[in-house]
């Protein structure tokens, strides 16, 4: 699929509202938008016509709307479609930030279009926009079958990540914040270059192999010293 050349005008960060969901894996979209707002000194305000909390990021290249749907995950499309329709934003100008089970914690990927991989938020956005052709920033949370096989997916996504996983997710958040200028320019190739550094976990450094112990040298054999007694008969 060809890269979009249009600038991003709307970033929708998916999550669930309420204190009980704060900091959970399913709220990765909220995490990123809250981090952007904190860094840029923005404040979200509730807007009922957009079914969510809204902030406006002013950039030289063009403004970007930040949207946190408060409809709960399964109805995220209502918020995204309402804002896109009101401001005449095309699907190719929308970036949806969401958690991704099939990507390891500490990794992220970006793509235009594609399937929903069982993500109900993406499913509803696709249905409401009548197209899957919007950008997705997929921040990895890992799958319970890898990290906690006895846990159901529902409980995993609504759980709080372990400290080491959270640290990796935060690195992705910090890197994603640096993409705002390129998003506003429509320089998605620049965004991809940044995200590509986080597509897989770095390989652990190989431990140096211990050097083989030097074989103990056998003592040098010397001929017995000749004495006067050796010649006695």
Q: Active site includes 98?
A: no
Q: Which position among 26, 98, 119, 143 bears the catalytic label?
A: 26
Contact (CB, 8 A) for 185 and 7: yes
How many alpha carbons lie under 13 Å from residue 106 in its C-beta half-sphere? Answer: 10
Spatial neighbors of 189 by CB under 8 A, at least 6 apart, are: 3
**Per-residue DSSP letters for 47-102?**
EGGGTEEEEEE--TT--EEEEEE-S-GGGHHHHHHHHHHHTT--GGGEEEEEEETT
What residues are annotated to the active site? 26
């Amino acid at each position: 699929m060809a890269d979009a050349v249009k600038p991003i005008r709307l970033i929708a960060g998916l999550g669930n509202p309420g204190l009980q969901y704060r900091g959970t894996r399913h709220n990765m979209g909220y995490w990123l938008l809250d981090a952007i707002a904190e860094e840029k000194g923005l404040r979200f305000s509730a807007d009922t016509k957009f079914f969510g909390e809204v902030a406006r990021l002013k950039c030289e290249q063009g403004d970007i709307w930040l949207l946190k749907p408060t409809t709960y995950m399964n109805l995220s499309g209502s918020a995204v479609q309402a804002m896109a329709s009101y401001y005449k934003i095309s699907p190719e100008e929308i970036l949806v930030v969401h958690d991704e089970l099939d990507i390891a914690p500490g990794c992220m990927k970006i793509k235009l279009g594609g399937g929903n991989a069982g993500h109900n938020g993406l499913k509803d956005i696709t249905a409401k926009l009548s197209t899957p052709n919007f950008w997705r920033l997929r921040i990895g949370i890992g799958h319970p079958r890898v990290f906690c096989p006895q846990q159901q997916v529902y409980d995993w996504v609504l759980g709080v990540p372990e400290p080491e996983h959270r640290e990796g997710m935060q690195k992705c958040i910090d890197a994603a914040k640096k993409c705002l200028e390129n998003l506003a320019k429509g320089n998605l190739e620049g965004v991809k270059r940044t995200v590509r550094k986080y597509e897989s976990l770095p390989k652990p450094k190989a431990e140096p192999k211990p050097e083989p112990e030097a074989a103990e040298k056998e003592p040098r054999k010397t001929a017995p010293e000749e004495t006067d007694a050796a010649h006695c008969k």
